[in-house]
Amino acid sequence: MAYQPLAPRMFANPAIALSGPVDYDMYASFRAQLGKAPADGLVVIELSTLGGDPEVARMMGEDVRYHSDLDPGRRFVFLGKAAIYSAGTTFMSFFVRENRYLTRGTRLMIHERKLSKQLNIDGPLTTCVATVKAALNEIEASIAIQNEGFENLVKGSTVTMDEVLERAPSNWYVEAAEAKSLGLVEGIL
């Protein structure tokens, strides 16, 4: 579906306004506001966040995807303000590029998922192997989920997956004007 660029006045009263850590409290607020959002037309979702739980970001993103499919008369649009870090960028990746906007000076931060875990190997050898395999499976599944989000983020842009994979380990900060020039977002307000 081709979308027309939106004028700044269209963002004056977002249907959903979120700020703070991406966590289950934000998800509850998101769901409550989503339930009160217009049943058709433009639904602006405004976000400012320093990051949080990537799985909560994915849940909110899946809700946007689901409702977009369920209600084709609704246009869900992302508006990032000030800081869209980590899980916030994950959430933004669920919006098609034409429905992503940032305010001037907003920074995106793109990075790899992080894991902090101690592996305790103790017991019968077959149990030890299972413990190590379970940890490896967790890491590999998390990388696959992370890369799905990266693929969604760069779709329709000039950024390649190789570039994201090269820059993400060291926290890639992208200012709004650069995000627009790279094609990661549609516009800047």
Q: In this model, does residue 93 exceed pLDDT 90?
A: yes
How many angstroms separate the CA atoms of 161 and 146, rounded?
12
> Would you place residue 107 in the very low, low, confident or very high pLDDT band (cuts 50, 70, 90)?
very high
Per-residue model confidence as pLDDT tens digits over 147-157: 999 999 999 99
Mean of the pLDDT values across residues 49-72?
A: 96
Give the sign of the dihedral formed by CA 81, CA 86, CA 88, CA 89: positive
- Report the pLDDT value the prediction gives residue 3, as an integer from 0 to 100: 86
Q: Name the residue among 75, 14, 94, 8 with its Cα closest to residue 46.
A: 14
Place of tokens 């609704």: 74
pTM of the model: 0.93
Residues 166-172 have a mean pLDDT of 97
In this predicted structure, what is the pLDDT of residue 94?
Answer: 97
DSSP 167-179: HGGG-EEEEHHHH
Q: Which of 110, 28, 111, 44 is nearest to 76 (CA)?
A: 44
Percent of the chain clearing pLDDT 90 (strictly above)? 93
SS3 letters for 147-161? HHHHHHHHCCCCCCH
Does 80 score more than 80 pLDDT?
A: yes
Please say if the pLDDT value at position 50 is more than 90.
Answer: yes
- What is the 8-class DSSP label of residue 97? G
In this structure, are residues 101 and 179 in contact, taking their beta carbons and an 8 Å threshold? no
* pLDDT higher than 90, residue 2: no
pLDDT confidence band for 188 (50 / 70 / 90): very high
Residue 155 and residue 185 in contact, taking contact as beta carbons nearer than 8 Å: no
Q: What is the mean pLDDT of the chain?
A: 96
- The secondary structure element, H or E, covering residue 91 is helix 87-92
Side chain identity at 140, as an amino acid letter? E
